Amino acid sequence: MELNTFSIVARCERTGQLGVAVSSAVPAVGSMCPYVIPGVGAISTQSWVNPNLAIDALKLMQLGASARDALDQVLSKDDDAALRQIGIIGREGDGVAWSGSSCTAWQAHFTGSDFAIQGNMLLGEATLLAMRAAWKSNAESDLGERLMRTLEAGDRAGGDFRGKQSAALKIMDKEWYPSVDLRVDEHTEPVAELRRVLNIAKVQLFPFIEGMPRREGASRTLPEEVTRMLLHSPTDRR
Q: Is residue 19 part of a domain?
A: yes
Same domain assignment for residues 165 and 71:
yes
Q: Are 139 and 14 in contact (CB under 8 A)?
A: no
pLDDT at residue 238, as a whole number: 65
pLDDT tens-digit map of 63-101: 999 999 999 999 999 999 999 999 999 999 999 999 999
pLDDT at residue 24, as a whole number: 94
Rounded Cα gap, residues 36 and 28, in angstroms: 17
Rounded Cα gap, residues 47 and 178, in angstroms: 25
Residue 93 dihedral angles phi and psi, to the nearest 5°:
85, 15
Q: What is the mean pLDDT of residues 40-54?
A: 97
pLDDT tens-digit map of 157-189: 986 667 789 999 999 999 999 999 999 999 999
Q: Is residue 69 part of a domain?
A: yes
The torsion region of residue 121 among left (phi > 0), alpha (psi -120 to 50) and beta comes to: left
Q: For residue 149, what is the domain's CATH number?
A: 3.60.20.10
Residue 43 CA, chain-centre distance (Å), reads 8
Same domain assignment for residues 182 and 213:
no
Q: How many domains does the chain have?
A: 2
Q: Are 35 and 45 in contact (CB under 8 A)?
A: yes
Q: Are 54 and 37 in contact (CB under 8 A)?
A: no
Q: Is residue 196 part of a domain?
A: no
Which own/partner pairs from 62-70 qualify as long-range (CB within 8 Å, at least 24 positions apart)?
62/37, 66/90, 66/92, 66/94, 67/41, 67/94, 67/95, 67/96, 68/94, 68/96, 70/41
Same domain assignment for residues 124 and 231:
no
- pLDDT-above-70 percentage for the chain: 95
Q: Is the pLDDT of residue 2 over 70?
A: no
pLDDT category, 46, cuts 50, 70, 90?
very high
Same domain assignment for residues 218 and 128:
no
Q: Are 165 and 174 in contact (CB under 8 A)?
A: no
pLDDT category, 30, cuts 50, 70, 90?
very high
Same domain assignment for residues 60 and 150:
yes
Q: Is residue 169 part of a domain?
A: yes
Range of the domain at 238: 205-238
Q: Is residue 108 part of a domain?
A: yes
Q: Does this model's pTM top 0.75?
A: yes
